[in-house]
Structure 1
């Protein structure tokens, strides 16, 4: 009597295939290349090394990089605008303070002209003018410079053949500016050539 095992036909066992999906080689400790024979995972999801996935990542990286550059450019423009506004506000505030001190400088100039500034008063006047110059205050108007209606106010006028263009002959009262901001124009006496002098007024017919 045969045993049950002998009566059954021999069945072949299915071969077992073991695939090592580890990304790091355990022997060399180096990254492995993706398996070209199995480019997709179960369910059709692309693995990282496939061209479609790599292209999508590159496009996403380019988009994020462009967005970052736009943000950086906007921030740089904002920073420059803030600095410009702060400088303008500071210049306006400084100009207001210096403008209020112009009568003091005028008084010092008059006292100098009368010879009343000497000794300790001279030192105080010099220190004040140096300090105001450090804050950006500059005098406007010098005898001999070309007349500029934007910077000079003509309070005297004469004609001479010795000049070719209008020239500031004398400074009656100096002007002042801070940077490009004119606090007040200089009052000057102007000398002009004959061809630029205004025509003489004619008496009306009787």
Structure 2
């Protein structure tokens, strides 16, 4: 008589329905046998064994190259940023230099006009009228750009600022006599020296002595 039911199955196969095989999937990124990093998507073998004892050192070895690469990339980025900052600074300095040079060239071309206005002022042609307004506006505009006029009678003679065309003094304490052409400074740079004569300073009280006879008359 043939047996049926659970007893028959148990006797035939030696297993009960609940005795299914247990499968363990190894999902570790580091191969415990070779110590290498497994590529993405590579199938991993099924194993039921415990993690190998060398797995933790292998993980540390895999992290070390990645850490070195990050440090190298960080240093390269810092170098690039420093080079860009230096390039930006040099570009700005060159830009400012070109602007200053262009300003100086333009002002130097206007200096003869200022000389003509100075001569007209000496002759009294700028006392009133539209020419005086034009002269004042031009002088104000150039002054706002940093142009400074120098060289007045009585100023101490400075060979770096004044060009002497005549010397009427002893040379002990030279001062400016007549000023034939004014000098100009643009910022800290002298763009034209003053053309002057050199003489000795007036004696102290000389002007007072000259005024006394005039007052007595």
Shift of 1:174: 0.9
**2:181 aligns to what?**
173
* Partners of 1:186 and 1:159 in 2: CA distance: 18
Unmatched 5+ residue regions in structure 1? 22-37, 194-206
Query: Which residue of 2 is the match for residue 44 of structure 1?
Result: 35
Q: Report the equivalent of 1:137.
A: 147
Partner of 1:90: 99
- Cα deviation, residue 4, structure 1: 9.3
CA root-mean-square deviation: 3.5
SS at match of 2:120: helix
Greater helix proportion: 2
Structure 2, unaligned runs of 5 or more: 3-7, 39-55, 202-217
Larger relative contact order, structure 1 or 2 (CA cutoff 8 Å, min sep 6): 1
Larger radius of gyration: 2
Structure 2 Cα separation of the partners of residues 52 and 142 of structure 1: 82
| Structure 2 counterparts to residues 147-166 of structure 1, below 5 A | 147-159=157-169, 163=173, 166=174
CA apart distance, 1:101: 1.1
* Structure 1 partner of 2:205: none
Superposition TM-score, scaled by structure 2 size: 0.63
Cα 1:16–1:171 shift into 2, 3 Å = same
